[in-house]
Structure 1
Amino acid sequence: MSKRVISKSLTRIQQLPFLALLLCSFCSLSDESSPSKKLKLLSNPVPFFSYTDKSGEMTGYSIDLSKNIIKNAGFDVEVEGLPWARVLKRAESVEYSVISGIVRTPERENAYYWITPISSNPVAFYTLKEDHIFIESIKELDALGNIGVLRNDYRHRILTDENAANIMAFNNWPVAIHSLLKHRTKSLFFSDMGLVLTCLDANINCTSIERIHTYRNAVSYIAVRKTETLKPVYEALKNAAEQFKQSNEFNAMVASYLNQSDDTAKLMTVENGIVSVKSNTTHHASNEGQ
């Protein structure tokens, strides 16, 4: 064998470790940039639970809870706040996404993996006290006149399924509440917690509104879409959620929110890791003008 051939062979052999190292580097980069390593956290802005702070970052009880669980499960996280109707659409287009604050309903039961509950909240019908309207079941919707509800919200779907004739869908709850207060609608299909938080946050005097019929208790969750791809993600998040909610870190997080000086925090309580409105403040509302 000639010296030139031997030299070329040796050169190729010497290059093998470098090529192997380079290949491993690409493998590592591919693994780190894999969508499964980073999850998109989707949430609808709600006072106390999900809001933008002074620095422009999304924060709040449900955001911090979700981020801690996601990070403890070994994933990176990016938060995106959207109107509720867009949250569900965004979750369909972004495969590796997590929804924070989705209510668990029979219609959604088999469409999502349910990771851990966030809040528990009575869903009900509300009218003005002066109207003296009362119903005993959802089958009596005709007595409620025009019913205000959030557009594309799960309650909107319930009213549609019940063949309610006078649905008035709004793009946000403050407008829906003002519509009731100004007698443009006769009722709202909302929730105790939602009414309390919205009236307080929007500085609306809601003391003239009363709950007339409780439909059911709604529990919001952290969830992911039910697909084979997301099954291992769900299992990792489920385990991380169970561990985090039993930790001192979780207790400290809860205390930090409940001990805040703002009025919203004073209305909340947490039992077994689930947020609810204190029973003696169910009909709390701002005393300021409309």
Structure 2
Amino acid sequence: MSAILSLFSTQFVSAAEHSDTADFWVLTALEPPFSQRNERGQLEGYLIELVSGILAEANIDQPILAAPWERVISEAQQKANVVIFPLARKPEREDQFHWVLPLTANVYGVLGKTSPSHPISNIADLITVSPIGVFENDFRHKLLLAENVQNVASYKDYDSAVSDLVSGQLSSLFFSDAGLRYFCFKQQADCSDMKILYQYDTLTSYIALSKSTDIGHIKIMNDAAERFFKSQNFMQIQQSWLEKLSAQGPLKLHIKNGVLNLW
């Protein structure tokens, strides 16, 4: 972890020293297939291309830097002028960030093939489908910890979590149906018997700004996002990636009001 953070800090210092907009950070956490590194180590994906388009519209010449979610959130909470994405918009976060533009919407829940002894109506009932896998330090991980749910297994990547779910080492996984289908397809695993055992919520992810961002920067980002949203380039990126993502497994996707819905 220290090596990753060291590289992250070095990348930012280098970018800041050579940019006219050095007071902007642009941070993300990787969420394949929407944001990931290719074989050359470069960031790519639907979200990367969209946010890059908004940055270009705003004349912000800053690289997008990737780091673990805990680091990304920490930087956004402590520093001004931090662009962060994709950030799920939840009630407890409403006043902690400036929300710029919705990107994707997804249905989150606990998935598995084990039939619980009785219907799961609340988080406390999840004990019947444990051990439960979850992405480390994700909002779902923190939710389970806050609710004192026992037998929770945290993972640093979804590949390992889905693999353990398929093999039976996990009884369930707090994820999304679209995400599960993608990783099952990637691993060539049969997940046809997997289903949502408990539906938590439908959340929309945004490009957002840290709360202490100055008014001028907020206006720059909001105006650029509005112009980009109305542009032909935006629609072309959406249609192109809709086709690409639909080819990456049995994903059910549709676009509504400019938001990519993952169902």
Measured against the shorter chain, the TM-score band is 0.7 to 0.9
TM-score when normalising by structure 2: 0.82
Tell me the secondary structure at the aligned position of residue 259 of structure 1. Answer: helix
Corresponding letter in the other structure for 2:22:
P
- Structure 2 residue runs without a partner (length 5+): 1-16
1:55 to partner: Cα distance: 4.4
Aligned partner of 1:253 in structure 2 is 237
Q: Does 1:106 align with 2:62?
A: no
Separation in 2 of the partners of 1:52 and 1:72?
23
1:178 to partner: Cα distance: 2.2
Higher relative contact order (CA 8 A, sep 6+): 2
Tell me the secondary structure at the aligned position of residue 42 of structure 1. Answer: strand
Separation in 2 of the partners of 1:52 and 1:80?
11
Structure-to-structure mapping, 1:1-290, within 5 angstroms = 33=20, 35-36=22-23, 39-92=24-77, 95-129=80-114, 134-227=119-212, 229-260=213-244, 263-264=247-248, 267=251, 268-278=253-263
Separation in 1 of the partners of 2:74 and 2:189?
31
Q: 1:121 to 1:215 in 2, by over 3 A?
A: same
> What is the root-mean-square deviation in Å for CA atoms of aligned residues?
2.6
1:44–1:81 contact (8 Å) kept in structure 2 = yes
Tell me the secondary structure at the aligned position of residue 260 of structure 1. Answer: helix
1:149–1:167 contact (8 Å) kept in structure 2 = yes
Separation in 1 of the partners of 2:66 and 2:110?
27
- Structure 1 residue runs without a partner (length 5+): 1-29, 279-290
Corresponding letter in the other structure for 1:256:
S
Figure out how many residues of one structure are paired with residues of the other and give that number.
246
Separation in 2 of the partners of 1:266 and 1:165?
32
Corresponding letter in the other structure for 2:219:
E
Corresponding letter in the other structure for 1:253:
I
TM-score when normalising by structure 1: 0.75
Separation in 2 of the partners of 1:213 and 1:125?
5
The structure with the larger Rg is 1
Q: 1:144 to 1:138 in 2, by over 3 A?
A: same
Pick which of 138-147 and 237-246 moved more: 138-147
Corresponding letter in the other structure for 2:220:
A
Q: 1:255 to 1:156 in 2, by over 3 A?
A: same
1:47–1:201 contact (8 Å) kept in structure 2 = no
Q: 1:236 to 1:33 in 2, by over 3 A?
A: closer
Q: 1:80 to 1:54 in 2, by over 3 A?
A: same
